[in-house]
Structure 1
């Protein structure tokens, strides 16, 4: 039989674990690969040109993860303020509407993450170029205005384009630049399919939330084209990404080892098929998850192929 002291200690530990999970969910960890993958690919590309400065790689990775997590927190805060989230909402961290975390706490945490990312950015600029301070500031502004401001990007048909450009293409190019001091056409070409797949994560999210978004006055791409066409566009984005890599290999832009990305085809198929015939958000969660996993698998396999081609 446990003593009252032991019981209180056990309850405290349970509360600690619960609280830890609340903060972890607030970052929406399934989306963080959208930051990890581009940094890894940009660094793997740079490995072909120069020796890698590990400190800059780690700094870029941490800064990107912080910006992505902060963007998710801004999303949580502003969707709550606009009355879009409820305890039944699917795909949110739920810290505010389910766990009772004060909205200002979430906002303050997001700003803190941005502040730390900016400090890391200063270190990166000191070791590369101060022009990156401008580029980084634009990326952070995009993260804020994705759901903040009078006309949030997420409420328009341009959300997928913005996500792909800032979290796909730009992050790869910055990660490449801080190691090499330049941006090459190869880096740009390789970043395209990743930009598409990052955009696909957002499109999958908007397909899942289509009915709720429509009621709340959003004008996302999925709403404009309809559910069926949105699923077709998603499948097309997957297809273009794989065909693009074949084109790069045929044109001798990258090594055939990068075709390892085709091992992620089954996950892409599962993602596209998983939305067909579904209308309830909870039923589309597996497809949403598979879309994020496609980006992760494709990106990690691409980075691996780039590294192997360098070593061989």
Structure 2
């Protein structure tokens, strides 16, 4: 397998969906808590990117194996295995190596922190694999948007904060012979969820846009996603309103001093975001307009992260 085919197999351009939430959690850690653990940061980054590549490769492999419709844009061009005529054994071995690296780095991270991180890691790895694998993968159900948004948009920022705060009372767990006691700072967890909402919304809408574009093909391939259940019109309305929820959340977070005043700059992204929404409403295709959902995610969240940075100086 060459470099080009590997990068296509793991869809390297989509890794922004995990890296941006990771950076968001890291920047917010510096802003709110003034904490930073270099070793844990590096271990998590390697584990995260390796596992993200592995799950994408698994998804492409399962789509290749289960595809009923084997023609059209979504197959010969989009699927790397068909496009580069990759051997199945090579693809499986690549997935195995990526998962091995992700697990190894995750175990080192657990050794450096505590059992909470181990539990979160196991759950996240499990969901990541079940997203594309198993008798009924999550991606083939009307739950893909919820799972991808929650785990990539919230759990990644949460863990990227927790690796620096694992011994500061954010979540504590005590185990003895008769009891398992878990304590967590409810207010801080809610705050982390709120600051993660732009990432949650952006990632959910990437999945939603993908499924809207694939409605016809998904029906043929027996993938019963959310847009198939609620229809294209309601799916498009949901796509639009989710972005507005993110903007309202940022305004409220500034008012309640969860975010620095400088994050008001994110509101200026509403202009290009609205234009991209309008373009997507006119045409929903994987080839021409799906990219606008990815662009929206990058625009909102990159400006969001950059706007938090001046808050470090003002603080």
With the shorter chain as reference, the TM-score category is 0.7 to 0.9
Q: Which moved more, 1:80-89 or 1:57-66?
A: 80-89
Match of 2:304 in 1: 302
Using a 3 Å threshold, how does the CA distance of structure 1 residues 271 and 148 change in structure 2: closer, same or farther?
farther
Match of 1:3 in 2: none
Choose the corresponding residue for 2:17, options 31, 34, 50: 34
State how far apart, in whole Å, the 2-side matches of 1:279 and 1:239 are.
Answer: 20
TM-score by length of 2: 0.86
Query: 8 Å contact 1:79–1:85 — kept in the other structure?
Result: no
Aligned ranges 1:274-293 → 2 under 5 Å: 274-278=279-283, 280-283=285-288, 287-293=289-295
Query: 8 Å contact 2:150–2:200 — kept in the other structure?
Result: yes
Match of 1:258 in 2: 263
Query: 8 Å contact 1:164–1:196 — kept in the other structure?
Result: yes
Cα deviation, residue 54, structure 1: 2.4
Ranges in structure 2 where 5+ consecutive residues have no aligned partner: 172-187
Query: 8 Å contact 1:267–1:291 — kept in the other structure?
Result: no
Is 2:64 aligned against 1:80?
yes
Query: 8 Å contact 2:280–2:292 — kept in the other structure?
Result: no
Q: Say what the alpha-carbon RMSD is for the aligned residues.
A: 2.0
Using a 3 Å threshold, how does the CA distance of structure 1 residues 222 and 73 change in structure 2: closer, same or farther?
same
Aligned ranges 1:7-18 → 2 under 5 Å: none
Aligned length, in residue pairs: 292
Match of 1:194 in 2: 199
Choose the corresponding residue for 2:91, options 101, 106, 119: 106
Cα deviation, residue 158, structure 1: 0.5
Q: Which moved more, 1:89-98 or 1:287-296?
A: 89-98
Is 2:41 aligned against 1:57?
yes
| Residues 184-216 of structure 1: CA deviation (Å, up to 9, x unaligned) | 232222112311211111011111111100122
Aligned ranges 1:1-312 → 2 under 5 Å: 19-47=2-30, 48-84=32-68, 86=70, 88-90=72-74, 93-181=78-166, 182=170, 184=188, 185-278=190-283, 280-283=285-288, 287-312=289-314
| 3-state SS of 2:282 partner | coil
Query: 8 Å contact 1:125–1:132 — kept in the other structure?
Result: yes
Cα deviation, residue 145, structure 1: 0.9
Query: 8 Å contact 1:163–1:202 — kept in the other structure?
Result: yes
| 3-state SS of 1:148 partner | coil
Match of 2:180 in 1: none
| 3-state SS of 2:67 partner | coil
Ranges in structure 1 where 5+ consecutive residues have no aligned partner: 1-15
Using a 3 Å threshold, how does the CA distance of structure 1 residues 51 and 251 change in structure 2: closer, same or farther?
closer
Cα deviation, residue 258, structure 1: 1.7
Cα deviation, residue 99, structure 1: 0.9
Using a 3 Å threshold, how does the CA distance of structure 1 residues 306 and 280 change in structure 2: closer, same or farther?
closer
TM-score by length of 1: 0.87
State how far apart, in whole Å, the 1-side matches of 2:58 and 2:107 are.
Answer: 23
State how far apart, in whole Å, the 2-side matches of 1:85 and 1:141 are.
Answer: 28
Using a 3 Å threshold, how does the CA distance of structure 1 residues 44 and 143 change in structure 2: closer, same or farther?
same
Query: 8 Å contact 1:77–1:106 — kept in the other structure?
Result: yes
Query: 8 Å contact 1:114–1:140 — kept in the other structure?
Result: no
Cα deviation, residue 58, structure 1: 2.5
